[in-house]
Amino acid sequence: MPRRTMTRDEVLKAIRARHARGEAVVGLSLTLPKLYHAARKWFGCWREAVLAAGVPVKVPRKWSHERVLETIRRRHREGPPLAKVWLDDMGLRDAAAKHFGSWRNALLAAGLQVAPRRRWSRESILESLRAHYNRGHTAVHLIDRNLSAAVTRFFGNLDNACEAAGLPHRPGRWNKRRIVDTIQDYYVRGKPIRIVGFKDDRLGAAARRYFGSWRAAVAAAGLLNRMPPPLVPRRWSRQAVIDAIQNWHRQGVPVTSLWARDMNLYSAGKVQFGSWRSAVLAAGFEPGLRAWTQQLVVQEIQSLHEQGRPLSTTAAFCEASALAGAATRLFGSWKKALQAAGIRVASPANSRRPAKNRRSA
């Protein structure tokens, strides 16, 4: 099921509740991402959401070298730990990086002891992950940012690292095993496997993300033989267009009707020769002008309808401009020509009219 986004009133209520409890209303992009993104959706930015909730917003601090060092030393003495500064005071961390080049350089300038950078390996990452999971810490990106960065660098994402460490995946998260199981489950239920994701956008996106394509994910599920063969687009050349026109002519199909019989050939002829007339001339035939009559227009429209071609005004003038022009000339409009052919096409404007009438009522 898709995740439900918080409503505008729920965002305001949550901000007011945090303020009433004395909790911070800034720096929540990592700790409360759902609330933060909902606030940005409804109000444009987090600051405007806080103001709309009636909570006073502090004026942004103006940082200098001295103020950065003073704040770091005070926090070192009084807390909270400096290791959590990226989580609860991004302003200080950004100012330190701006004035000193990095957070590490700022700590050294403040006269504090800095632990040497840890050199990660695949084994040490897996060992640290197991230790965190044994303590019940699954949100590694919130607990140990260095470990989280190392996981991304060595394994691509946390799910891959958990799989390598033999740890359970986070609930509700996609992984290769879950994608394969879901594809097999949907197939057993009788859903069409040729449709990407079985009409489940989240499954389709996860399959492309983990396997590269829907077909590759189906192959991993052992169901590739149940998929229809991939469509290979035909590569047209000038000679291929000429051969196809001549082949249709030998079957007794006039070149003036090929646009209705073989739209791919018609489009390829215009691409390769600049126009359909030039393609017909190159094939050794005289295109001539078709003598349109009302009966012929009706027959062509009915033929397109039997082939399942779209018969909207836009589609007609794009794909069958000669027929559409003759229909307009002989019947007054494309719509009247459709009526003469006994074909009814719903109009978007007509489909919206009842709703408009109901609103006016």
Q: pLDDT by residue (tens digit) across 252-299?
A: 887 777 776 787 888 888 889 988 888 888 888 877 666 778 888 888
| 268 and 202 in a common domain | no
- Residue range 346-353: mean pLDDT, rounded: 47
Q: Determine, yes or no, domain membership for 40.
A: yes
Range with the lowest mean pLDDT among 115-124, 277-286, 309-318, 340-349?
340-349
Residue 36 has pLDDT above 70, yes or no: yes
- Residue range 237-249: mean pLDDT, rounded: 89
- Residue range 131-139: mean pLDDT, rounded: 77
Q: Determine, yes or no, domain membership for 154.
A: yes
Final residue before a domain boundary, out of 185, 204, 226: 226
| 346 and 303 in a common domain | yes
Question: What gap in Å lies between CA 186 and CA 281, rounded to an integer?
Answer: 53
Q: By the 8 A CB rule, do 18 and 50 touch?
A: no
The pLDDT score that the predictor gives to residue 172 is: 67
Mean pLDDT score across all residues of the chain? 81
Residue 359 has pLDDT above 50, yes or no: no
Domain count, the chain: 6
| 86 and 126 in a common domain | no
| 82 and 17 in a common domain | no
Tokens of 4: 């439900």
Instruction: Tell which wins on pLDDT, 348 or 263.
Output: 263
| 349 and 296 in a common domain | yes
Q: Determine, yes or no, domain membership for 264.
A: yes
Question: What gap in Å lies between CA 318 and CA 331, rounded to an integer?
Answer: 19
Q: CA dihedral in degrees (51, 56, 57, 62; nearest 10)?
A: 150
Which pairs with CB-CB distance under 8 Å and at least 24 residues apart come from 129-133?
A: 129/161, 129/162, 129/165, 129/167, 130/165, 130/167, 133/167
pLDDT per residue as tens digits for the range 198-213: 888 888 888 998 899 9
Residue 322 C-beta-side C-alpha neighbours within 13 Å: 17
- Nearest CA to 39 out of 54, 28, 55 is that of 28
- Report the run of H or E that residue 358 belongs to, with start and end: helix 348-360
The pLDDT score that the predictor gives to residue 351 is: 41
Q: Determine, yes or no, domain membership for 59.
A: no
Residue 59 has pLDDT above 60, yes or no: no
Question: What gap in Å lies between CA 229 and CA 231, rounded to an integer?
Answer: 6
| 272 and 213 in a common domain | no
Residue 353 has pLDDT above 70, yes or no: no
- Nearest CA to 301 out of 267, 336, 275 is that of 336
Final residue before a domain boundary, out of 269, 289, 309: 289
pLDDT per residue as tens digits for the range 64-101: 888 889 888 888 888 777 777 766 777 888 888 888 98
Q: By the 8 A CB rule, do 326 and 289 touch?
A: no
Q: What percent of the chain has pLDDT over 90?
A: 6
Tokens of 322: 């000669």
Whole-prediction pTM value? 0.36
| 256 and 239 in a common domain | yes
| 37 and 103 in a common domain | no
Q: Determine, yes or no, domain membership for 32.
A: yes
Question: What gap in Å lies between CA 43 and CA 14, rounded to an integer?
Answer: 14
Q: Determine, yes or no, domain membership for 299.
A: yes
| 303 and 284 in a common domain | no
- Nearest CA to 93 out of 116, 72, 62 is that of 72
Q: Would you place residue 27 in the very low, low, confident or very high pLDDT band (cuts 50, 70, 90)?
A: low
* Residue type, position 244, single letter: A
Q: CA dihedral in degrees (344, 348, 350, 351; nearest 10)?
A: 100
Q: Determine, yes or no, domain membership for 117.
A: no
* Residue type, position 81, single letter: P
For 21, the domain range is 8-52
Q: By the 8 A CB rule, do 114 and 107 touch?
A: yes
| 359 and 303 in a common domain | yes
The pLDDT score that the predictor gives to residue 357 is: 44
Q: Determine, yes or no, domain membership for 330.
A: yes
Residue 347 has pLDDT above 80, yes or no: no
The pLDDT score that the predictor gives to residue 214 is: 92
The pLDDT score that the predictor gives to residue 219 is: 92
The pLDDT score that the predictor gives to residue 290 is: 66
Question: What gap in Å lies between CA 166 and CA 169, rounded to an integer?
Answer: 9
Supply φ then ψ for residue 300, to 5 degrees: -65, -40
Residue 217 has pLDDT above 90, yes or no: yes
The pLDDT score that the predictor gives to residue 175 is: 80
